[in-house]
Structure 1
Amino acid sequence: MKKVFVRWIPHVLTVDQKRERVRCAVELLNIFEPLGLKRLSNIVPGDETWFPFVIIPPKRLNRMWVDGQGDRPVVLRPVFQSRKRMFTVFFNYSGQLVVDILHQDTTMTATYYVQKMLSQVKSAINEQQPKVSTSTTLLLHDSAGHHKERATTQPLRELGIQVLPHPAYSPNLAPCDF
């Protein structure tokens, strides 16, 4: 008898996804070139993530040795579908700007994202730096559906907020994923 674990990787990148990562990296290097107008302190990363209210013990804590005749022990898995909430976090070089908890039975849509989240981000930036316009802000968010919709991209253009490129499956560019 022996115990084995499989190695888990988040995603295997295709050749096109690797090329897109390189293209985005080159674009980011050009944006932040030496003596350029853009600074790293202008970046505002933001991301949404689900947090369960129930702490589920890791699977490795439920392991045990059994012989060939022993029954497999049963562990009750908690049902936490109704006990999780979506948190949206935006921050910059000086700390958190906005933390929002999506109400239960509500869906994150482009309208909610623009009216609730972006307006809070804009006011937080204006509060921190009243003499600086939002046109120097560089927004870094992933490619979730509500981020790519026209209802989101149009108001961002009107505010003068530039959206930085974010290739698929790139948690290293989204610190919220850590």
Structure 2
Amino acid sequence: MEPRQLRAIMLYEHNLGTSARQTAEKINTAFGQCTIAHSTVSYWFKSFDKGDTSCEDKPRSGRPVVFDEDLLRSHLERHPDATTRDLEKELGYDHSTIIRHLHAMGYHKIMSRWTPHALTDSERAARVTICESLLLQPHRQDFLRSIVTVDESWVHYNNKTRQAYWVLRGERAPTEPKGYWELLDEKQTINATICGEQLEKLAPEIATKRPKRLSVSLLQDNARPHTAKSVRHILEKLNWTVVPHPPYSPDIAPSDYLQIIRTHLGKELVIYDDHTYYCNVTSANGWKKYWRCTRGGGTRCCAARLHLSPDYKVMKIINEHRHPPPRFIVRNGVYTKIG
């Protein structure tokens, strides 16, 4: 018999003036021994005496017995960056139970991807237009061989910590806008004059290293020193072509997202998407094929990997960083970790 039905019988007997012991004996006689205990009837009679005649279960403290995965899923849709401790407080389930159900539902937690700027619709359209024009470039192989990339060295300073998000396996991490601080030599700032001087120094070096190539296609970002009038005049004098570059788009500028550097001990590192990698597999012919994140070993070892071609093109990436990028400075191609 359902508990609600038994409570209705108890309420009926209570209203007739039957004692708790007599009510328990009647119920056990009618429905079988051990159907209900005298203490249970006494508990409900006390509630009836207080004027509470509801036969429903009272709200209980503690954690729910049945796990509601739909509730967890809807909460993650609203707050994908919630920690399991936050979910424990909001939903009332045990921390380990939440983790177990998250993995069973196909979720895993990965770090968001940095983007330098939250693009507007017009900036997104400019990316598409410029990329399409470059794809339609005639004599594409000659054009690609003529590209020279230019960028400044940079350093992470007062890094904003990225958030980790719960996403279904196979989905890409969300992006977060990020700004960079630049650290130059003491009392020196990057400006159009310095940019122009660097280009004029670069021109004879390119002529020496590329004697058979007359054309130069300069690929750089849209920083103000790069687009200043004096710099444009120098580029016209050098007869260099400036490759159009969408605003706030370092992900399609090679100099911005893949750097080959060395530590002070001479060890080669790769910087990709703000994270650093070292080569852990080298083929017999010297091809540095597989690179792994420099995050330490043991249980804290990062699962992110890079697969590079012999000319350092990214062929495959397993981007599962669960930690913020390291803080470091690169000067004259030498990597130094800070903080």
Q: What is the TM-score normalised by the length of structure 2?
A: 0.35
Deviation of 1:127 (Å): 1.3
Structure 1 unmatched ranges of 5 or more: 61-80, 87-102
Letter in 1 for 2:186: Q
Query: Superposed, which structure 2 residues align to 1:1-150 within 5 Å?
Result: 2=85, 7=112, 9-10=114-115, 11-31=117-137, 33=138, 35=139, 38-51=142-155, 85-86=183-184, 103-115=185-197, 117-133=198-214, 136-150=215-229
Distance 1:141 1:57, change over 3 A: closer
Deviation at 1:15, TM superposition (A): 1.0
Using the aligned pairs only, state the percent identity. 29
Q: Is the 8 A contact 2:217 2:241 kept in 1?
A: yes
Query: How many residues are matched?
Result: 133
User: Which structure 2 residue ranges, 5 or more long, are not aligned?
Assistant: 1-83, 88-108, 163-180, 258-339
1:138–1:163 CA contact under 8 A, matched in 2: yes
Distance between the aligned counterparts of 2:194 and 2:224, measured in 1?
13
Which residue matches 1:68?
none
Q: Is the 8 A contact 1:47 1:174 kept in 2?
A: no
Residue 107 of structure 1 aligns with an amino acid whose one-letter code is T
What one-letter code is carried by the residue in structure 2 that aligns with 1:147?
Answer: H
Compute the displacement of 1:30 (Å).
2.7
Deviation of residue 37 (structure 1)? Answer: 7.9
1: distance between equivalents of 2:131 and 2:143? Answer: 16
Query: Which one has more relative contact order, counting CA pairs under 8 Å at least 6 apart?
Result: 1
SS at match of 2:187: coil
Q: Structure 1 residues 149 and 59, CA, compared in 2 at 3 Å: closer, same or farther?
A: closer
Give the residue type in structure 2 aligned to 1:105. K
2:81 is aligned to none
- Quick check: 1:43–1:139 contact (8 Å CA) kept in 2? yes
CA change 1:126–1:16 in 2 (3 A) is: same
Deviation at 1:130, TM superposition (A): 2.6
Deviation at 1:112, TM superposition (A): 1.2
Specify the alignment match of 1:161 in structure 2: 240
Aligned-pair distance for 1:51? Answer: 2.3
- CA 1:59 to 1:145, structure 2 compared with 1: closer, same or farther past 3 Å? closer
**Matches of 1:137 and 1:122 in 2, distance apart?**
9
List structure 1 runs of 4+ shifted beyond 6 angstroms: 3-6
